[in-house]
Amino acid sequence: MRTIKLLLILAIFVFSFNSSMSQEVNIISINSRTSLSLNGSWKYVVDPYETGYYDYRREARDQRANPSKSEALFLGYKAQSPSERVEYDFDKSENIMVPGDWNSQIEKLFYYEGSVWYYKKFDYDLSTEANRQFLHIGAANYEADVYVNGTKLGKHIGGFTAFNYEISHLLKPTGNFVIVKVDNTRGLEKVPTINTDWWNYGGLTRDVKIVDVPATFVQDYYIQLAKNDPKTIDVSLELNGANKANQSIIIEIPKAGIKVRFITDENGKLIGQIPARNLQLWSPENPHLYEVKITHQKHEVLDRIGFRTLDTQGSDILVNGKSVFLRGISIHEENGIKGGRAHSLEDAKLLLGWAKELGCNFVRLAHYPHNENMIRVAEEMGLMVWSEVPVYWTIQWENEETYQNAEKQLIDMIFRDKNRASVIIWSMANETPVSTERTEFLSNMINTTRSIDSIRLISAALERHTQEGTKNTQIIADPLQELVDVISFNEYIGWYAGLPESCNDAVFDIQFNKPVFISEFGGGALYGYHGDKGTLWTEEFQEELYIQSTLMLEKIPQLRGMTPWILSDFRSPRRLLPEIQDGWNRKGVLSEKGDKKKAFYILQQYYDSKKLEYLNK
Ligand code: GCU
């Protein structure tokens, strides 16, 4: 089996290498680099039969030496004479805003699943000849084929992770154009798989820009406290470029009185430690961030970094050596007021502002890596973060390509946010049915995570069920509980299992001396619909459910946090009940417009009490 797997991986690598003209290049702290934004109005063409990509024999046009100018949309071609047949014209096509999903922008695309071609013309000032340029796309859901000036750069798979392709060799001073085919078609073999309880927003859903870096530039760095050592900063860094060996790198943290010089090795890398006396540590109560400056030759990269220690001890989660209770809420990346995928700084401030008002010190960014604004604003606000890859429900566990896809999304998620003090938990999965293949798949992901990041905690929404022969004894019989740092699970007693009074006789039998975290609980209510607490979908029913749920969960001695499902109502094609759901999942403690339901206040009071309880610990 192992040999077959290795041969398959090699085959995938060779195939992907041949099929994409350049490799993706991860660049850390992308928003601190010099760049030309391509955000704004783009042209788009809806192409449900992918005629711009496949010919009538279903062969990919961009694999041909001379693709047909008449139909290959990625060439961005225009007829040169009245007699020339060209069956598309981007200049005469309609406009769409980037970043942003197409579903919420264009009514005829509300339910659309398929391919859309995006087109943007731009000029570029190549004055600093020696510099290099990369095309950066913050996210494209779900699959993106990327071309600049008619040359294919690559195919990115995964709807929630950023990617960059070098375009230095392609740019001209004027008349450049970027074309991206985005395909949000769902699939059994994909990550997530074909069935999800959220809207399949397609498009260029995050920033697009051209990043301009020196010929040899700081591609990656890690600057965080060593494990359980507030007086030592671990540093690693990698240069990219021809002149990367034996280079002087200065790392400064002025407000901490730190200025240290390192030298890269022959591969342009360095690993080291910096002694740090009297650092002001980052915490939810005091989310202190330091200006960090990294200098190579005359080039600087700036960041704002928080320093904190993180560990578990028995059933306690320790931040800076102090036991914390994660007063959380789950959040989907959706702004219900303006509609569609959230992506902006304003969106992040809105959603996380609601979480702060609820009394949170923690957010579960479900069920996929959110845009970087969410992570950075959480860090500024003092919100700790659970970040998750969309290994959700019935993934094709035995499919090697599916595993490679999931693992790459995991690696890309960790790459982007490894310097963020706010992120304390990496989540491998959500509600995945236990099987030998599934547990091997997730165990491999856990091993990969630990090999990259030995500090942050690992979890996943594990499987819980009622013990046979008992009335309501809940057990976690999931092999992954041996491997995770925090035992998390979703429970819906009182909603999917019985009514709120079922909470009274529920018993949680959890044998592990590890922190227990409730990654989801809750139930639906339509904002403004009132009745007695026995009437489903009323605010009163949801209020009672929250009262009973928090009383029930308090009985778990290892309980160290929760992220009730969910902050605000969100769109889901699975929610069909007229007059109540109408395509919305109504489990928010807020409506999609931010109106507070009665359950909001129950949770807010509970968090006030937990905050006081833990202040005195
Ligand atoms: C599941 C799942 C969520 C879903 C929720 C629900 O636990 O993790 O993604 O939206 O239940 O049924 O509302």
Beta-carbon contacts of residue 171 (< 8 Å; ≥ 6 apart): 124, 126, 133, 148, 149
State the burial class of residue 55 (Cβ atoms within 10 Å of its Cβ: 0-12, 13-18, 19+).
middle
Q: Which residues contact 258 (CB under 8 A, 6 or more apart)?
A: 233, 251, 252, 274, 276
What per-residue confidence (pLDDT) applies to 13?
Answer: 42
Cα 565 to ligand 1 centroid, rounded to whole Å: 7
pLDDT, mean of residues 528-534: 98
Distance between CA atoms of residues 168 and 151, nearest Å: 12
Share of the chain above pLDDT 70, in %: 97
Tokens 């809420």 found at? 329
| Distance from the first to the final alpha carbon of the chain | 51
Q: Model confidence over 493-521: pLDDT tens digits?
A: 999 999 999 999 999 999 889 999 999 99
CA 139 vs CA 76, 155, 317, 573: distances in Å: 22, 12, 32, 22
pLDDT at residue 385, as a whole number: 99
Choose the residue to mutate in 197, 394, 545 for probing ligand 1, maximizing ligand atoms within 8 Å of C-beta: 197
Task: Decide: helix, strand or coil at residue 11.
Answer: helix
Q: Which of 392, 431, 549, 565 to mutate to test the pocket of ligand 1 (most atoms within 8 A of CB)?
A: 565
1 — pLDDT class (breaks 50, 70, 90)? very low
Q: Residue 11 — pLDDT band, cuts 50, 70, 90?
A: very low
pLDDT band at 12 (very low <50, low <70, confident <90, very high): very low
Residue-wise pLDDT for 564-607, tens only, equals 999 999 999 999 999 999 999 999 999 999 999 999 999 999 99
DSSP state string for 290-312: EEEEEEETTEEEEEEE----EEE
- ∠ CA(159), CA(162), CA(165), 5° rounding? 120
Residue nearest to atom 4 of ligand 1 (CA): 197
Ligand 1 contacts CB of residue 430 (under 6 A): yes
Q: What are the pLDDT digits (tens) for 383-441?
A: 999 999 999 999 999 999 999 999 999 999 999 999 999 999 999 999 999 999 999 99
pLDDT value at position 21?
58
Cα 13 to averaged position of ligand 1 atoms, centre (Å): 35
DSSP state of 166: E
Provide mean pLDDT across the span 556-560: 97
Do the strands 248-253 and 258-263 form a parallel or antiparallel pair, or are they unpaired?
antiparallel
Which atom of ligand 1 is nearest to 461's Cα?
8
**Across the chain, what does the average pLDDT equal?**
95
Residue 326 and residue 361 in contact, taking contact as beta carbons nearer than 8 Å? yes
C-alpha span between 297 and 9 (Å, rounded): 39
pLDDT tens, residue by residue, 20-66: 458 999 999 999 999 999 999 999 999 999 999 999 999 999 999 99
The CB of 490 under 6 Å from ligand 1? The reply is: yes
Chain centroid to Cα 291, Å, comes to 25
Strand partners, 34: 212
**Cβ of 431 less than 6 Å from ligand 1:** yes
pTM (2 decimals)? 0.95
Determine contact, residues 228/236, Cβ cutoff 8 Å.
Answer: no
User: Which string of b and e fits 405-444 if b means at least 16 CB within 10 Å?
Assistant: bbbbbbbbbbbbbbbbbbbbbbbbbbbbeeeeebbebbee
Average pLDDT over residues 280-285: 98
Is the C-beta atom of 388 inside 6 A of ligand 1? no
The enclosing H or E element of 599 equals helix 598-615
CA–centroid distance, 358 to ligand 1, in Å, is: 21
**C-alpha to C-alpha distance for 28 and 417, rounded to whole angstroms:** 9
